[in-house]
Homo-oligomer: A and B are copies of this chain.
Amino acid sequence: MKYSLSLALLSTVLGAPRLQAKALLQKAVIDSAHQVDDLAFQVSQATLGRTYSGKNFSMTRQQLKGGLQDGTTLLTVDNGALKIVLIPTRGMGILDVVANGQVRYGWDSPIKEVVHPKFINLHDRGGLGWLEGFNEFLVRCGVEYAGSPGVDKFINNRGKEDSSALTLHGRIANIPASKVEVLVEAGNPATIRVRGEVRELTFLGPKLILTTELVTQVGSSSFEVHDTITNVGSGDQEYQLVYHTNFGTPLLEAGAQFVAPIKSLQPREPMQPDALERYTTYQGPAPRFVEEVFFMTPYANAEGITTVGLTNRDKSLGASLSFPIQHLPYLSLWKNTASVEDGYVTGIEPGTSYPNNRSVERAAGRVPVLKAGESVALSIKFSFHTTPQSVATMIREVEAIKDGRATEMK
């Protein structure tokens, strides 16, 4: 069981409260096994009947209406400092995060609705149907496959030669959660947890279950995501997971900076040397901009944790991701500084691999395998920096991890 190791690492370094304290609330909001679907779920400091030091908090479910979002469920966690909008209907992705009621982290996709999977055909446009629902701050690519569309030939879990027409970024973001549970734990501050279970199962094929926990403390400017992928089948099973984390304005702007302790760097396509050297700097929106993708590995600190982030031009706003690199050794940077109309956005994407077609990643030895019954745990802490001080601290943290070591340009 690989689970314990990386969680232990993360809790040691990040101080995540992994041991569950006394639960003031533990409630299933959705549970297909027990006919639970609490459409009017809402809880707050007030409804719990207890007061805490610190800020108010709440959790609220909302059913979206109209057009392509008919039936989509949102679950908003407001910890008093961050308002985090989860999408149970779309694989427990995160639509956006608003810090201090002022700064929105996320991006402005041309897709305005939170599209229900019943309206998505992943095989559309030669396997690009996924793009018709793409507007999240955090969307998971995976978990059977995570990369570019196209036929992948492989040996299936019954030992036979097989092939499959993979679709862009996999299926998990278009599978509704079978179970969503919320917890509030006593403490000063209190702790909020949202657990989700998303099943990617087929008979005579892959059987992978994603369980995810979002955990945050009341008043905190960060939250953690703890994911577990379990192979519930009886044979070996490949898996892939890429955390497609996306930022637009106001954080992204001309002069915004990618900040990360990069060990190795390779552009997806050949690139002019000077363009490559400017890879940490962003341009403003440009109508005919063609996306640039960089494949990287990050350095980690002695505990195996890395931190990568983004700042705006004057370093008054930032966001960062901290995670153990043990199971997320590959980091992709997607620069899509296109027009506002087409979607001005950058993706910072820790992954078990790069988002190439699985056939490419397998050939490069980057597709891990779970044995029967085995699980792997993947964790990321997301932090939101809304003061120059907080941004500066994040930059120093990245520099400390880098510790003067070189970046290898491939």
Contacts and interface: CB of A to CB of B under 8 A. Distances in A.
Contacts of A69: 32
A47 B410 CA distance: 72
B125 A164 contact: yes
B288 A235 contact: yes
B179 A67 contact: yes
A368 to B, nearest CB: 20
Interface residues of A, number: 67
Contacts of A111: 201-203
A317 B131 CA distance: 48
Contacts of A112: 32-33, 199
A369 interface: no
Contacts of A68: 32, 175-176, 178, 199
B207 A110 contact: yes
Contacts of A119: 117-118, 175-176
B110 A233 contact: yes
B203 A67 contact: no
Given A128-B205, A164-B126, A67 B178 contact: yes
A158 interface: yes
A236 to B, nearest CB: 11
14 contacts: A32-B64, A32-B70, A35-B64, A36-B65, A37-B70, A66-B176, A68-B175, A68-B176, A110-B201, A111-B203, A112-B199, A128-B202, A132-B202, A158-B288
